[in-house]
Structure 1
Amino acid sequence: MKRIIITEFMDEAAVAQLRAAHDVTYDPKLVDDGARLHAEAAGADAIIVRNRTQVRGELLVSLARCQVVGRLGVGLDNIDVAACEARGMRVIPATGANALSVAEYVIAAAMLLLRGAYRSTDAVASGGWPRNALSNGRELGGKTLGLAGFGSIGQFTSRLARALGMEVVAYDAMLGPNDPVFAAAGVACVGLDDLVARADVVSLHVPLVDSTRNLFGAERIGAMKAGAVLINTARGGIVDERAVAGALRSGRLGGAALDVFDVEPLPAQPHFEGCPNLLLTPHVAGVTRESNERVSSLVTAKVLEALR
């Protein structure tokens, strides 16, 4: 019997499956108790994390006997993959398991921000009737969606968008312009500058690495189509948050949805207060009841296999 620690929330059925085979410590708050986390890590044969647990540095040293790192998600910027592999630790992300959840978030956010009519409940309930003010919203159909990153989540998003009548263009630094994935999806491969200039909605699906940090700063946001919408469900460091706030206030951006931030949990940010057409959510685009079940089930199966 091996020892498994789970540092953040996981589907209970998957936890029970792990417990049926091994000794499991499951505490969704373990990530916030550094001393206990390191003590538990010392005896762990496997660790399962989400995005907040930093599997690097001191924690990695504590994981002296660990064989496998299960990631309940797809981003790996919180895990020193090279160092893990050098220690013989297998890193297992839940590739593809939350793609639908993120794709639906992107489409829903785009609809909300383009239409601009879904925040009138308080006004209408209190006797107001802001019909004229809310009659200039925009339809999603016929608009261009630009996907910066065309992996599994970008591809899923393109399917939903095209089904709703959007034209889709995509950029991916890891794929050649003639890669068959673009033709198969009915998506035009373009350069990033072209994408930014053409898209009514820009959605980000790239990893956070040195080359993508502040990829969307003030200059690139300023090059976006006037009134366009920016959606970031990838990683916070890809976007300059102050530049987004400034572009919303100036009217250059027509809307923005940010689900991820450079610092999480996000401390109070005065520059966001009173920003028009801004949607902020706490890193939940990939987390639904269904996706949590899929992600947890996939990681559980692979961790159990790795520990055999």
Structure 2
Amino acid sequence: MLKVQTLNNISVQGLNRLPRELYEVASDIAQPDAVLVRSADMHKMEIPASIKAIGRAGAGTNNIPVAAMSKRGVPVFNAPGANANAVKELVLAGMLLAARNIGPALDFVRKLDGDDKALHEAVEAGKKKFVGFELPGRSLGVIGLGAIGVKLANAAVELGMDVWGFDPAMTVNNAWKLDARVRQALSVDDLMARSQFVSVHVPLIDATRGLINADRLKLMKKQGVVLNFARAGIVDEAAMIEALNSGTMHAYVCDFPSNALKGHPRVVATPHLGASTGEAEDNCAVMVADQIRDFLEAGNVRNSVNFPEAVMPLLPGKTRLAIVNENVPNMVGQISTVLAKAELNIADLLNKSRGDLAYTLVDLDSGLPESAVQALSAIKGVLTVRVIAG
């Protein structure tokens, strides 16, 4: 029986992907094989030695000690794209809110008093302050063309916008999905200079912290709007507020309120609603549960943030070895030598690497003795050895 610990409320749709005849699933469980998590901060907890995998029911993994897990040979899975439609729709809503000055207009109406006649007169007199603009013909720059960025860019094209994209690490799969009318910017600066709206869809890492700064805000077209539904630190908040106050920028729409932003008339700040739809939560939970199950039962790796993609069909009657090791020369040769000494025949083998880690799947025609497992584990640089029956 495999044990899976849940650190947050995980969608039932996802938990149902783990059959109860094979899995024990609970929030309080001893020596779990895997963890399913949403927002819980795993940096603050002691992660048991029994853990073989961690699954984040969402895209970001800032709440998981990924580097520490890599050193232990533990893959961290996420659910890229599962919440893409939810975020795309919220960004589109944010564009409309900013273009039509909906936030200040709602505040204006809420503060009206008097009878209906007085209210009507105030509305007619005050509405001129909230004149906005329409989206067709306006330019949108999308930084980061992953699942969300591609959906947003395609939707904006259909709205009649002039769309530019920039992503030096764009995958071939996402490139196939991108509308041919989306044009390629040569750099972030190039994109900023071409855009009235800019939406960021990149992870928060050292290279992207403060990506949207004072200098880049000055490059944008007049009445510029920045939309940030990725991570707060990607936009330099102080620079943004200064640009809003000076009139350089028209609006800032984000999913990360702060005391500095709260109440600013040109800021629309939502309470981290990007993936907060029932559909997105279900999609994320289902995706990550399937990935955890495929790894535990077959050793396959899909959508890991720290392991290479490694998928090999597990045939009935074979015994599979799943080996995690440091990415150093001659590791496959040493593994093969140990198996040859144990007179074990290799039916299939897959070796993949990513950064400092390498991952090897080996299918054998027969079972292997414990002595062979010990010999594999003793190879310098091997982090984990797991035996999976076919």
TM-score, scaled relative to structure 2: 0.66
SS in 1 for 2:198: strand
Range 11-20 or range 298-307, more displaced: 11-20
Instruction: Tell me which structure has the larger Cα radius of gyration.
Output: 2
Structure 1, gaps ≥5 residues long: 27-39, 261-265
Letter of the 1:15 counterpart: L
1:28-73: per-residue Cα shift (whole Å, max 9, x none)? xxxxxxxxxxxx68622111122x43444x63x5231111111111
Q: How many angstroms does 1:244 deviate by? A: 1.8
Give the strand-richer structure, 1 or 2: 2
| CA–CA separation in structure 2 for the residues paired with 1:15 and 1:281 | 29
Partner of 1:22: 23
Q: How many angstroms does 1:13 deviate by? A: 3.3
Map 1:153-232 → 2, pairs under 5 A = 153-175=148-170, 181=176, 184-190=179-185, 191-232=187-228
Q: Which runs of 4+ in 1 moved over 6 A?
A: none
Q: Is the 8 A contact 2:17 2:290 kept in 1?
A: no
Partner of 1:72: 57
| CA–CA separation in structure 2 for the residues paired with 1:124 and 1:293 | 41
Partner of 2:321: none
> Of the candidates 22, 36, 40, which is equivalent to residue 53 of structure 1?
40
Map 1:268-287 → 2, pairs under 5 A = 269=259, 271-287=260-276
| CA–CA separation in structure 1 for the residues paired with 2:15 and 2:287 | 12
Q: Is the 8 A contact 1:182 1:188 kept in 2?
A: no
Q: How many angstroms does 1:248 deviate by? A: 1.6
CA 205–277 in structure 1, closer or farther in 2 if over 3 Å, else same: same
| CA–CA separation in structure 2 for the residues paired with 1:239 and 1:83 | 28
Q: How many angstroms does 1:230 deviate by? A: 0.5
| CA–CA separation in structure 1 for the residues paired with 2:138 and 2:265 | 21
Q: How many angstroms does 1:235 deviate by? A: 1.3
Q: How many angstroms does 1:175 deviate by? A: 4.1
| CA–CA separation in structure 2 for the residues paired with 1:183 and 1:103 | 14
> Of the candidates 272, 289, 303, which is equivalent to residue 278 of structure 2?
289
Q: Is the 8 A contact 1:249 1:275 kept in 2?
A: no
Q: Is the 8 A contact 2:154 2:178 kept in 1?
A: no
Pairs aligned (count): 282
Partner of 1:122: 110
Kindly report the root-mean-square deviation, in angstroms, between the aligned alpha carbons of the 2 structures.
2.5
Q: Is the 8 A contact 1:143 1:200 kept in 2?
A: yes
> Of the candidates 225, 238, 250, which is equivalent to residue 246 of structure 2?
250
> Of the candidates 125, 136, 140, which is equivalent to residue 145 of structure 1?
140
| CA–CA separation in structure 2 for the residues paired with 1:285 and 1:82 | 26
Partner of 2:291: 302
1:249-269: per-residue Cα shift (whole Å, max 9, x none)? 222111111114xxxxx6x61
TM-score, scaled relative to structure 1: 0.82
Partner of 2:11: 11
Range 183-192 or range 87-96, more displaced: 183-192
| CA–CA separation in structure 2 for the residues paired with 1:41 and 1:241 | 41
Q: How many angstroms does 1:17 deviate by? A: 4.5
SS in 2 for 1:133: helix
| CA–CA separation in structure 1 for the residues paired with 2:177 and 2:6 | 38
Range 75-84 or range 234-243, more displaced: 75-84
Range 152-161 or range 120-129, more displaced: 120-129
Q: Is the 8 A contact 2:154 2:179 kept in 1?
A: no
| CA–CA separation in structure 2 for the residues paired with 1:16 and 1:182 | 30
SS in 2 for 1:131: helix
Q: Is the 8 A contact 2:33 2:52 kept in 1?
A: yes
Q: How many angstroms does 1:273 deviate by? A: 4.1
Partner of 1:111: 96
Q: How many angstroms does 1:223 deviate by? A: 2.6
| CA–CA separation in structure 2 for the residues paired with 1:248 and 1:63 | 48
Structure 2, gaps ≥5 residues long: 298-390
Q: How many angstroms does 1:229 deviate by? A: 0.5
